[in-house]
Structure 1
C-alpha cells in the first residue's frame, strides 16, 4: 500500500472519529429534549392541542360579518366541499373589517392554525382560554375575497410553520 493511501485512510478515519464525538456530545447535551411537551408549565394553565388536524377532523361554525347576503352559506359550502365539518352558518351581529376572525379555545389551536392557512395567514386570531370545545368560529369580514386554493393552502401552512400554544397555555403532551 502506498504512503498516499495510508495517509488518506488515516485522515478519513480521524474525521470519522471526530464526527462521532460531535454527535455523541450533541445528543448528551441536548437541551430541547422536552420541547413541545407540557413539562415545566404551571398546573393551572390549560393544555392547548397543537396537533395540526386533517380537514375531515376540523369542526367549524361560519358567520357572516359583512353586509353581503348569503356569504356564510356560500363559504360554508366551500368548506364542506373541502371535507370540513360545518356545524352552523349564521350572521354575525357586528361587521368585521378584517379578512376573517378565527375564534377558538385550547382544544382548537391546531384546527385554527389549519384554517388560518385558508385565509393565507390574514385571519385575525381570538383565543378564548375558557372555551371548552374544539369548534372554531370563522367570522368572515369585509376584506374577505375567497378561500385559498389547495396549493396556496399548502404553501401557507409551510410559511406559518407548526402550531404553537397561545400565551398563557402549554402545549398538550404528544399522544393525549
Structure 2
C-alpha cells in the first residue's frame, strides 16, 4: 500500500472518530429532551392538548356573525362533508369583520390549529383557559369567502407548523 493511501485512510479514520465524539456529546448534553412536555409548569396552569386531530375527531359549533342568511348552515354542511362533527349551527348577534374567529379551550388547541388551516391561517384565535370542553366555536365574519380546498389546507398546515400551547398553559405530556 502506498504512503498516500495510508495517509488518506488515517485522515478518514480521524474524521470518523471526531464525528462520533461530536454525536455522542450532542446526545449526552441535550437539554431539550423533555421540551414541550409540560415539565416545570405551574400546577394551576391548564394542560393544553396540542395533538393535531383527525377531521372525524374534531367537534365544532358554527356561528354566523354576518348579515348573510344561512351562512352557518352552508358552512356547517361543508364541514360535515369533510367529516367534522358539527354540533350546532346558529347566528350570532354581534357581527365581526374578520374572516373567522376560533374560540376554544385547553382541550381544543390541536383542533383549533387544524381548523385555522381551513381559513388559510387568517382566522383569529380566542383561547379561553377556563373552557372545559373540546368543542371549537367557528364564528364566521363578513370577510369570509369559502373554506380552503384539501390541497390548500395541507399547504397551510405546513406553513403553520405544529400546534403550540397558548400563553398561560402547558402542553400535555405525550403518551408513548
TM range, normalised to the smaller chain? Answer: over 0.9
TM-score, scaled to structure 1? 0.98
- Root mean square deviation of aligned Cα: 0.9
Q: Tell me, yes or no, if structure 1 residue 162 matches structure 2 residue 155.
A: no
Aligned to 1:98: 98
Per the TM alignment, residue 8 of structure 1 is displaced from its structure 2 partner at its CA by: 1.3
The aligned counterpart of 1:134 is: 134
What displacement does 1:69 show? Answer: 0.3
Give the length in aligned residue pairs.
176
- Which string of whole-angstrom CA distances, capped at 9 and with x for unpartnered residues, describes residues 73-123 of structure 1? 100011011110011111011101000000000000000000000000000
Aligned to 2:49: 49
CA distance in structure 1 between the partners assigned to 2:57 and 2:8 by the alignment: 57
Counterpart of 1:144 in structure 2 is: 144
Report the Cα distance in structure 2 between the residues aligned to 1:43 and 1:55, rounded to whole angstroms: 31
How much does 1:7 deviate?
Answer: 1.2
Where does structure 1 lack aligned partners over 5 or more consecutive residues? none
Distance in 1 separating the partners of 2:82 and 2:72: 15
Q: Secondary structure at the match of 1:111?
A: helix
**Which residue number in structure 2 is paired with residue 89 of structure 1?**
89
What's the offset of the Cα at 1:34?
1.1
Match of 1:108 in 2: 108
Which TM-score applies when normalising by structure 2? 0.98
How many angstroms does 1:11 deviate by? 1.0
1:65 aligned residue: 65
Q: Shift in Å at residue 4 of structure 1?
A: 1.7
Partner residue in 2 for 1:34: 34
Q: 153-162 or 2-11: which moved more?
A: 2-11
